Structure 1
Amino acid sequence: MSSNYEPLIPAVSAFNERGVPVSIDFNDVYHPEWGALEQARRVFIRGTNLIDRWRNQDSFTVCETGFGLGHNFLALWQAWRDDPHRPTRLHMVSFELHPFTRRDLELLWQNLPESERRLAAQLVQAWPPLLPGLHRLEFEGGALTLTLAFGSVERLARQVSARVDAYFLDGFAPRVNPEMWSRHLFGQLVRMANAGATAASWCCAGEMRRGLRDAGFLVSKVPGFGGKREITVATLRPGMGQQRIQAPTGSKIVVVGGGLAGAGVAQALMLRGHEVEVLDPVFAQGLGGSHKGHIAAALTPVISRDDDIRARLSRAGVLRALQRWQGLPEPARPRRCGTLELARDAQHAAERLLAVNELGFPSDWVRWVEADEARALTGVGSNRGGLWFADGQLVQPEPLLHALFSLPGLYCTDQLVGSVHAGPAEQWMVCDKHGQVLASAPNVVLANAWHASGLLSGMADVPGLPKLRAIYRLGGQVSNFAAGSFGELKAIVAGEGYCLPAVGKQCVGGSTYTVDPAVSQITTQGHQEVMSKIATLLSVPSGRSNSMPAAMGGWAGWRAAVTDRLPVIGPVSAAPGLWMACAFGSRGLSWAALAGDVIAAQLHGEPVPLERELLQKIAPR
């Protein structure tokens, strides 16, 4: 197990003799007896001078050191809704070591006032599975975001990328939870702070105030209320902090690439008010042309026993896709049918079961199922157990791409990009192979798989990116079969290969991998390889392999990858305005929505929905 891994332990609902919620982990109350919402308004919103400071701003970010029961977020949300001079976009980052389950929160919020109870109902619906790491929730059409950091604040404060305007310092008392009030944490708060950032706390302990002062805040005490004589307020010292950035809302952005990566980026930018032009000759075959004829694909998380980088990225990507795409109309909306990852043999089964037990993930995310339950969940006969991922999704790539590229504010043209270079007035020039300008914009995103390397090689003023220049391509195919060929399949079944529930009269099995072939096309050999994988997956006896159904066509395409098999997402540091979203390998569906929100958040100075160490691993280099 990695030394960085922290199993997430949910909070337990409990109350003291006066009916106030208490933490059994820290032996402290979540809020004063006279009310959490009033504390939120008087201590945190008023103490940070928030209403005056966010007045008519494009964007404003609040960071809270303990989410607890969520009353501060609900009060902040209501204050934002009530203020006619509110910022256009409001973001909150909140840390929580022991989050409550959705069911417990629903019960604990039953006695809220009507206005906050309506907001709490939305929060309950969006509440994520209790998995360690960052979780991005969106409300009010994306104008309000909540980034939950589940895990210890000591570790996760180092991992958050944000530009914070106000801090709600709301942890349990220093005597029972010193980690929440350490100088190390205060140093991280200063790292994230915008110039002029303010802070407020119910706590008034001398050591806490000295720690804030030493970190760089001007600290003072002001009169308290509700039996509390004084509370703490603070302002970052002049000359410290990050400068606020002006979000480029409404500006044009060019995306090169009409596949899944380009679609994920284009959607995220459109949602933030940009005009987005997407260029790819594949659009001559339609907006879903890059996956034309690709009936179905699987979107499934992966786990590893040590919760490695790839597993964490996969988890983040699948959760972003759930948020981003479940609101699409059918047939573009992914079907949440679940995925069964079958164990290969007894040893593999023991390894996977051990991984699930050690990770401690909630059963509504992943759990081990024995053979009988596996058959009931999937509709396929099998004598093996496996891992059940309830959030496994079946995706129809062509309709998905068509829906995303049809969004308002997106303009798709079937032009082949031959070069990209820096132009005058901080513009990037996107040209055809003859050097004629096709489009220009302050920001350009290269989301065109291995072709991105070729465009980079023509940029004399961009230093070498050895990892990205070593990108390689893989060809492969999937095969189509008549619906019912593998029984009444209700869920994705995966292992060395996979088979998917039927879409219409056909179902899909996959897949093959060929390193850098001259062409990627459907072949008889490819069909045989797919059928062999499915036969192994479904435990078809070798003597009966000839009973496998015949393929009825399929789809062939390309994948692009780099040596560590991680995606390449983010800004090219030496070329301001140039961004990358490529090398997605065989997990284009897993990375697409995540890539869009990572790039859009960095461009707009929003809290980034991915830990800093993960951003470093996927950064163009």
Structure 2
Amino acid sequence: MTASARRRVVLDTHFGDGARFLAAWASARAGAPLHYLAVAPALPAAADLADARLRALWPLDVPGFHRIVLDDGRVTLDLLVGALDAVLPQVEARVDEFLVAACPPGLARALAKLAAQGATLHARAPDEALVWALTAAGFACQAIAASPDVNAVYRSRQPPPAAPPPPQRRAIVVGAGLAGSAACQRLCANGWQVTLIERHAGPAREASGNLAGIFMPLLSKDDNIPTRLSRAAYLFALREWRRLGGVGQAFDGADCGVLQLARDAAHAKVQREVLAAWDYPPEYARWLAADAAGALLGGATPHGGWLFERGGWARPASLCEAMLAACGERLRRVFGARAPELRRAGDEWQVLGADGVVIAQAPTVILANGTGAVDIAQAARLPLSALRGQVTHLAQDQAGVPRLPLVVCREAYVTPPANGIVCAGATYDNDDDPALRASSQLENLTRLAEIVPGDAVAALAAGAPLAGRVGFRCAAPDRLPLCGALPDYAAAGRLERLRDVPRHPGLYGLLGYASRGLIWAPLMAELLVSQLEHAPPPLESALVAALDPGRFLLKERRRAQ
């Protein structure tokens, strides 16, 4: 995609068999880049799709928004899974063309709110009620010759708000962990020139430097916000990693599966009830009974657990390196440079080093440096905390060390052997001690013995040498990431809604990934770049709001008002 290209945005109210999308995709190869939003009550099976490239990236049939990036970013397909009346109010877009199949008249106004200047709406066999509703909502009808798909065309006649100006595609990213590396990759893929500033000598030296991170979704009976966000992030990450080259190929790791064991009989009952309530595809999540779970573990376990077949582990540093390598010449890397100060200079930001010298300058700055962000004045009041996590490293040839075919977790986790090491952990501590300590290792190995049966595993608590790594996770009070424009606390007065929160112009955050950076990083970067590009976001509007960095300031002011 060239920096000046403007995307054509299409909203299809019923994806069907995908024929309309495939036609639009074919036409986009010779024209403007395409962003295609399609509502689907349920997704067709991948095997039923005509295009092999689409089949390779096809998502599982679970609720929510699913973004598929095609043709190196020239084409984006957003599959919006759910009922039209539930999905449409969650869409944020400026739509150039509507393809309307069955549509209740009551949704005509919702369509009109999404219309860009001069948008067209193609309706298939609209009934009289829909015609009147579309007209009342601000669409003017044009009669055309009947066709199998369309027999009425409407053009928006209501002037929408002025379109925002295109961004100046120059940005500075502070921090080269998972958050910053993913931001660089998505920005460069969209034609941005990016300067990456990192205080260490290379990427992924802080929390992203662990030997292994786990990727898996969350499940809950009420399908709450963390569950919905993790589902979208996990599945988007899997698709993006396939585009990058694949887990275990483009970067170190394995999609070997994750078994999340139940804590006790009551928890096992809840786990089974969650799966029964949501009827997930088995490739996403399924129940593994105690005998089958024990067969994987190599010994009896009293309860079963959730099996996430497509989950696994990855070495975050290798993923960071792969994402940065994909940036090509659009990325300038500045390692070994602290960025303690931001200064506004006209319409741009200057990043100053410890000696006061300007390191870089650009209209857009993205803070992706974890709790280091609060050392910068403009972000100092963000409620971020550092949670200490100690991981234990066990030599795979040591007596008692389990050699599992997949990741197993409960109150803690254990990985399969990789490069001679099994990782077990990790602790959650509220102190800032960077040194390995025996008490944290004992905690990890005690939990390991509760996960994996056998006296030899239990004996590790007394016999394993002290080895591992300490990292500090950046977490917000609600344990959700921060993604978006950073609030200006000093300029805030009375606040009622998120849109009332004042922002620092051109200053954004990708922060608070806690222990889920592997799956948060790709989707949060995609969401932020969508905001910068004034493009449709890859998530429902309610979930975008749940990630807004201004949410804490809004809550603070609401309590005080």
TM-score, with structure 2 as normaliser: 0.88
- The one of 386, 391, 407 equivalent to 2:310 is 391
State the Cα RMSD in Å.
2.2
- The one of 335, 351, 357 equivalent to 1:430 is 351
Structure 1 ranges of 4+ moved more than 6 A? none
Letter aligned with residue 187 of structure 1: R
- The one of 91, 116, 130 equivalent to 2:35 is 91
- The one of 307, 315, 318 equivalent to 2:231 is 315
Distance 2:60 2:239 in 1: 13
State whether residues 245 and 604 of structure 1, in contact with CA within 8 Å, keep that contact through their aligned partners in structure 2.
no
Distance 2:14 2:252 in 1: 35
How far does residue 377 in structure 1 lie from its aligned partner after superposition? 4.6
How far does residue 225 in structure 1 lie from its aligned partner after superposition? 3.5
How far does residue 605 in structure 1 lie from its aligned partner after superposition? 2.0
Letter aligned with residue 354 of structure 2: K
- The one of 194, 212, 217 equivalent to 1:296 is 212
Which secondary structure state, in structure 2, belongs to the residue aligned with residue 305 of structure 1?
coil
**Which moves more between the two structures, 584-593 or 232-241?**
232-241
Distance 1:512 1:427 in 2: 41
Distance 1:225 1:190 in 2: 24
How far does residue 241 in structure 1 lie from its aligned partner after superposition? 5.1
Alignment correspondent of 1:73: 21
1:344 aligns with 2:344: no
Residues 90-129 of structure 1: CA distance to partner in whole angstroms, max 9, x if unpaired? 11001011322223x24xxxxxxxxxx4xx2222222101
Alignment correspondent of 1:220: 142
Letter aligned with residue 368 of structure 1: W
How far does residue 355 in structure 1 lie from its aligned partner after superposition? 1.0
Which secondary structure state, in structure 2, belongs to the residue aligned with residue 577 of structure 1?
strand
State whether residues 14 and 100 of structure 2, in contact with CA within 8 Å, keep that contact through their aligned partners in structure 1.
yes
Distance 1:420 1:437 in 2: 9
1:610 aligns with 2:556: no
How far does residue 292 in structure 1 lie from its aligned partner after superposition? 7.9
How far does residue 526 in structure 1 lie from its aligned partner after superposition? 1.5
Letter aligned with residue 215 of structure 1: A
**Which moves more between the two structures, 531-540 or 234-243?**
234-243
**Which moves more between the two structures, 498-507 or 565-574?**
565-574
1:579 aligns with 2:508: yes
Distance 2:250 2:207 in 1: 14
Aligned-residue identity in percent:
29
Which secondary structure state, in structure 2, belongs to the residue aligned with residue 374 of structure 1?
helix
1:492 aligns with 2:407: yes
How far does residue 57 in structure 1 lie from its aligned partner after superposition? 5.0
How far does residue 221 in structure 1 lie from its aligned partner after superposition? 2.1
The 1:92/1:384 distance shift into structure 2, 3 A limit, reads: same
Distance 1:390 1:503 in 2: 19
How far does residue 159 in structure 1 lie from its aligned partner after superposition? 1.0
Alignment correspondent of 2:44: 100
How far does residue 222 in structure 1 lie from its aligned partner after superposition? 1.6
The 1:547/1:597 distance shift into structure 2, 3 A limit, reads: closer
Letter aligned with residue 600 of structure 1: V
Distance 2:321 2:391 in 1: 21
Residues 220-277 of structure 1: CA distance to partner in whole angstroms, max 9, x if unpaired? 3222146x9x8110111152355264254xx221001121111111111111121211
**Which moves more between the two structures, 320-329 or 66-75?**
320-329
Residues 20-77 of structure 1: CA distance to partner in whole angstroms, max 9, x if unpaired? xxxxxxxxxxxxxxxxxxxxxxxxxxxxxxxxxxxx9521111100001111001111
Alignment correspondent of 2:445: 531
Which secondary structure state, in structure 2, belongs to the residue aligned with residue 508 of structure 1?
strand
1:555 aligns with 2:499: no
Alignment correspondent of 1:193: 115
How far does residue 307 in structure 1 lie from its aligned partner after superposition? 0.9
Alignment correspondent of 1:448: 369
How far does residue 376 in structure 1 lie from its aligned partner after superposition? 4.2
Letter aligned with residue 218 of structure 2: V
Letter aligned with residue 258 of structure 1: A
1:470 aligns with 2:383: yes
Which secondary structure state, in structure 2, belongs to the residue aligned with residue 429 of structure 1?
strand
Letter aligned with residue 440 of structure 2: G
The 1:147/1:544 distance shift into structure 2, 3 A limit, reads: closer
Distance 1:392 1:206 in 2: 50
1:132 aligns with 2:58: no
Correspondence list, 1:20-419, <5 A: 58-81=6-29, 83=30, 86-87=31-32, 89-103=33-47, 105-106=48-49, 117=50, 120-171=51-102, 180-183=103-106, 185-225=107-147, 231-240=151-160, 243=163, 245-248=165-168, 251-282=169-200, 284=201, 286-290=202-206, 294-326=210-242, 327-328=244-245, 330=249, 332=251, 334-377=253-296, 382-407=301-326, 408=328, 409-413=330-334, 414-419=336-341
The 1:57/1:497 distance shift into structure 2, 3 A limit, reads: closer
Distance 1:100 1:160 in 2: 21
State whether residues 380 and 489 of structure 1, in contact with CA within 8 Å, keep that contact through their aligned partners in structure 2.
no
TM-score, with structure 1 as normaliser: 0.80
Which secondary structure state, in structure 2, belongs to the residue aligned with residue 584 of structure 1?
coil
State whether residues 325 and 334 of structure 1, in contact with CA within 8 Å, keep that contact through their aligned partners in structure 2.
no
How far does residue 181 in structure 1 lie from its aligned partner after superposition? 2.4
Q: Which runs of 5+ in 1 are unaligned?
A: 1-55, 107-116, 172-179
The 1:377/1:134 distance shift into structure 2, 3 A limit, reads: farther
Residues 493-530 of structure 1: CA distance to partner in whole angstroms, max 9, x if unpaired? 01101000111211111111111x23322212221111
The 1:402/1:551 distance shift into structure 2, 3 A limit, reads: farther
Q: Give the paired residue count.
A: 523
State whether residues 478 and 556 of structure 1, in contact with CA within 8 Å, keep that contact through their aligned partners in structure 2.
yes
Letter aligned with residue 446 of structure 2: S
Letter aligned with residue 333 of structure 2: C
State whether residues 337 and 491 of structure 1, in contact with CA within 8 Å, keep that contact through their aligned partners in structure 2.
yes
The 1:59/1:293 distance shift into structure 2, 3 A limit, reads: closer
1:568 aligns with 2:488: no
Distance 2:274 2:208 in 1: 38
The 1:579/1:246 distance shift into structure 2, 3 A limit, reads: same
How far does residue 391 in structure 1 lie from its aligned partner after superposition? 1.7
Q: Which runs of 5+ in 2 are unaligned?
A: 487-501, 551-561
Which secondary structure state, in structure 2, belongs to the residue aligned with residue 450 of structure 1?
helix
The 1:292/1:65 distance shift into structure 2, 3 A limit, reads: closer
Alignment correspondent of 2:396: 483
Distance 2:84 2:71 in 1: 27
Distance 2:428 2:384 in 1: 16
Alignment correspondent of 2:491: none
State whether residues 522 and 556 of structure 1, in contact with CA within 8 Å, keep that contact through their aligned partners in structure 2.
yes
Letter aligned with residue 90 of structure 1: L
The 1:247/1:199 distance shift into structure 2, 3 A limit, reads: farther
How far does residue 301 in structure 1 lie from its aligned partner after superposition? 0.9
